[in-house]
Structure 1
Amino acid sequence: MSTHNESKINQLLQLQPPGVVLLASWLTEKGYSLDLQKRYRKSKWLESIGSGAMKRTGEKVDVTGALFALQSQKGMSIHIGAKSALAYLGKVQYLELNSKKVFLFGDKNEKLPAWFNQYQWGVEINYYSTSFLPPGRGLTTIDQAAFQLKISSAARAMMECLYLVPEEQPLLECYELMESLNNLPPAKVQTLLEACTSVKVKRLFLYLAEKANHAWFNHLKHDQIDLGSGKRSLVKNGTYVAKYQITVPQELENYGH
């Protein structure tokens, strides 16, 4: 390989932190043609992990390195959410968390690329594309070894858990998660609740927050949150909570009494 190309690959390797996926489309935008990328792979600088995606040869990449590429190189809103985000934020101390399962959320128009779905990350990926919350709203940044990653804040992650109720997330476990969220900023919670389009999520969030007796709950402007009309039943033969017009498991309603 020519000295010029070696200099160019060194510049490239400084552009992105170690441990992240390098997308062919992003490299092309940065002036690294597909032909040059092919030569880098042939020279063992880079190795393919699927169509349109590479990593530095000899490096290990995990789901966070892949998400970093989607966020920083493609500008996508796909992020770690729900219970997985709460685990990253240290909010799941006493709950059994299956670290082999990762919950990801993205906008309704965003799909995980084929290379992402086909690569063996060593964890089960559960991806939900939905716009019940605006993309990018209510995210926070966490530090990885060599880069920063956007994930759901505690308030958004809680709402994502409730979005998965009852099919993929037990409501009683959501209450146990809510109990640990005693210091949420009311203004940020308010903004998310006002932007949320899921009546189920909003009613459950307020019900669980009130049941957990969180001080921040009292600072919310309830009249500015649209809770829709009509009853919502989450379980058969449950207990009806008139204030929020929801039917919840009797076990939950009696919890802590």
Structure 2
Amino acid sequence: MSTDKKIKINQLLSTQPSGIVYLSSWLVKEGYSLDLQKRYRNSDWLTSIGTGAMIRSGDNVGYEGAIFALQKQVGQFIHPAGKTALSLLGKAHYLELSPKKVTVFGGQHEKLPTWCKTHDWGIKLDYYSSSFLPSEIGLVEVELKTFSIKVSSAARAILECLFLAPKNQELVECYQLMEGLNNLRPNLVQNLLESCTSIKVKRLFLFLAEKANHSWVKHLNIEKIDLGSGKRSIVKNGVYNPKYKITVPVALANGEL
């Protein structure tokens, strides 16, 4: 390989953090042609992890490095969400220390690339695409070892948990997570609830927040939040809550936790 090409790859690797995925499409825009990328792979500078994606040879790359690439290199909304986001924010201390899966959300029309779905990250990716919350509200930047990524804030994350409940997230666990969220910002919560399109999520959120007796609840303007009409049966054989017209697990309704 020519000296110029070595200088060019060294510039790339020295300006980007370790532990990330390099997307071929982004590299082309940065001046690294497909032919040059192939030469770097043949020279063992870069290693392919699937069509259109590479890592630095010998680098240890987790799923977070994939999220970095999707967010920073191609501007996607895909982000760690729900219980995973709460864990990254230090809001889920009691949860399993070594989770077997991570929760990732994306926009309604966003899909995980094939390379991201098929590569072995050492952990299972549970991906959900939805537009029940707008993409511009309630994300925060979290610093990892060598780079940062956007994840759901605590307020958005608990709403995402409730979006998955009860099929993919236990409601009792949602309440346990809610109990730890005693310092949410009322203005952000208000904004998220007003923007949320899921009646189920909004009713469950307010029910659990009141049950947890959080002081920030009294600062919310419930009248501005569309809670819909009619009853919602969240679980079978549950207890009906007349205020929010939802059927919830017996353990939640009767305080048997």
Q: TM-score range by the shorter chain?
A: over 0.9
The residue type paired with residue 156 of structure 1 is R
How far apart in 1 are the matches of 2:67 and 2:16?
13
Cα distance change on mapping 1:94 and 1:37 into 2, 3 Å: same
Q: CA deviation at 1:4?
A: 1.1
How far apart in 2 are the matches of 1:224 and 1:113?
38
Q: Is the aligned partner of 1:166 residue 2:166?
A: yes
The residue type paired with residue 147 of structure 1 is F
Q: Which runs of 4+ in 1 moved over 4 A?
A: none
Task: Give 1:207's aligned residue.
Answer: 207
Q: Is the aligned partner of 1:176 residue 2:195?
A: no
The percent of aligned pairs where both chains have the same amino acid is 60
Task: Give 2:5's aligned residue.
Answer: 5
How far apart in 2 are the matches of 1:201 and 1:8?
50
Q: CA deviation at 1:98?
A: 5.4
Which runs of structure 2 are paired with 1:233-252 in the superposition (5 Å)? 233-252=233-252
Task: Give 1:230's aligned residue.
Answer: 230
Q: Is the aligned partner of 1:41 residue 2:41?
A: yes
Task: Give 1:30's aligned residue.
Answer: 30
Task: Give 2:93's aligned residue.
Answer: 93
Unaligned runs of 5+ in 2: none
Which runs of structure 2 are paired with 1:47-62 in the superposition (5 Å)? 47-62=47-62
Which runs of structure 2 are paired with 1:72-91 in the superposition (5 Å)? 72-91=72-91
Q: SS state of the match for residue 244, structure 1? A: coil
What's the Cα RMSD here? Answer: 1.2
Q: CA deviation at 1:79?
A: 0.5
How far apart in 1 are the matches of 2:98 and 2:11?
39
Which runs of structure 2 are paired with 1:10-21 in the superposition (5 Å)? 10-21=10-21
Q: CA deviation at 1:93?
A: 1.6
Q: CA deviation at 1:127?
A: 0.2
Q: CA deviation at 1:148?
A: 0.5
Q: CA deviation at 1:42?
A: 1.0
Q: Name the count of aligned residue pairs.
A: 257
Q: CA deviation at 1:237?
A: 2.3
How far apart in 2 are the matches of 1:187 and 1:45?
48
How far apart in 1 are the matches of 2:98 and 2:57?
30
Partner deviation per Cα, 1:57-104 (whole Å, 9 max, x = no partner)? 111110000100000001000000111111111111223465111000
For normalisation by structure 1, the TM-score amounts to: 0.97
Unaligned runs of 5+ in 1: none
